[in-house]
Amino acid sequence: MARGKSSDAHNRVILAALDLFGKHGIEATSMDAIARIARVSKATIYNHWEHKEQLLMEVMVYIHGLNDDPIDVDTGDLGRDLGTVLSRRPSPAFQAAREHLTPSLIAYSATHQEFGQAWRHRVMEPPRQCLKRILERGIDRGQLPADLDLEVSMALLLGPMLYRHIFDKRPKPQEEDIGPQVAEAFVRAHAIQRAVEAARVLQLRKSSGIK
């Protein structure tokens, strides 16, 4: 996607689209309306994005903080590393915008399946790859069984997080985070405990400066 000469115009379009998608829904928001609110020509928008779905994808990436792939984590503690990935959250700066836009995104994805698939891939693939690297290291270090099914393991780890986010609408304490609990339950069920405990002891000794 070409950014063109004006990053200011680019940012105004992003913010205008975010506002209109949230207020009126994605289907009901036209590129003309976005251009009018952003104070740019429609031609300028099409210089930056080929179509509305491409703009929608960038809006969603923007408010979820997905421009950069998540940093890998390797402390040597299997449960802590898994819990760190599962606990990652987008910046709270756009929390209200995400909550406002999510119903429209779900409805749009249901009727535009190709976009929905692309969005799910964009959201889910980075944490999946992080979890996969941690699990593969766990296997290499003897902390996990050599025949561990990686796809099933990633589904077991991510499933509770998705359920909590999408289906569990009960009021929750703002600080509550089930990521470490999910990670610990997985480790208890699947890890080779003696290897895990040995790795934890080694990590504690390193962090304490004990040789």
In the chain, pLDDT over 70 holds for what percent of residues? Answer: 84
Among 129, 136, 137, 138, CA closest to 158: 129
| pLDDT band at residue 123 under the 50/70/90 scheme | confident
What is the mean predicted confidence (pLDDT) over 60-72? 83
Predicted local distance difference test score (pLDDT) of residue 172? 57
Question: What's the chain look like in SS3?
Answer: CCCCCCHHHHHHHHHHHHHHHHHHCCCCCCHHHHHHHHCCCHHHHHHHCCCHHHHHHHHHHHHHCCCCCCCCCCCCCHHHHHHHHHCCCCCHHHHHHHHHHHHHHHHHHHHCHHHHHHHHHHHHHHHHHHHHHHHHHHHHCCCCCCCCCHHHHHHHHHHHHHHHHHCCCCCCCCCCCCHHHHHHHHHHHHCCHHHHHHHHHHHHHHHHCCC
Question: 123 versus 147: which is more confidently predicted?
Answer: 147
Mean pLDDT of 84-95: 88
What letters, b where the CB count within 10 A reaches 16 and e where it falls short, cover 154-192? Answer: beebbebbeebeeeeeeeeeeeebbbeebbbebbeebbb
pLDDT exceeding 90 applies to what percent of the chain?
A: 58
Query: What mean pLDDT do residues 104-116 have?
Result: 92
Q: What are the tens digits of pLDDT across the range 94-109? A: 888 888 888 889 889 9
Position with higher pLDDT, 194 vs 66: 66
Answer yes or no: is pLDDT of 141 > 50.
Answer: yes
Predicted pLDDT at 4 = 46
User: 13-35 pLDDT, tens per residue?
Assistant: 999 999 999 899 999 999 999 99
User: What pLDDT is attached to residue 12?
Assistant: 95
Q: Under a CB-based contact definition with an 8 Å cutoff, are residues 44 and 35 in contact?
A: yes
Residue 45 has which token pair? Answer: 């928008």
Dist CA 115 CA 92 (whole Å): 25
User: How do residues 187-209 score in pLDDT, each as one tens digit?
Assistant: 999 998 776 666 666 666 666 66
Question: What domains, with CATH codes, occur in the chain?
Answer: 7-64 (1.10.10.60), 78-208 (1.10.357)
Confidence of residue 3 (pLDDT cuts 50, 70, 90): very low
Q: What are the tens digits of pLDDT across the range 160-177?
A: 988 876 676 666 555 568
- Cα 169 to Cα 10, 93, 103, 113, 178, distances in angstroms: 35, 21, 14, 25, 15
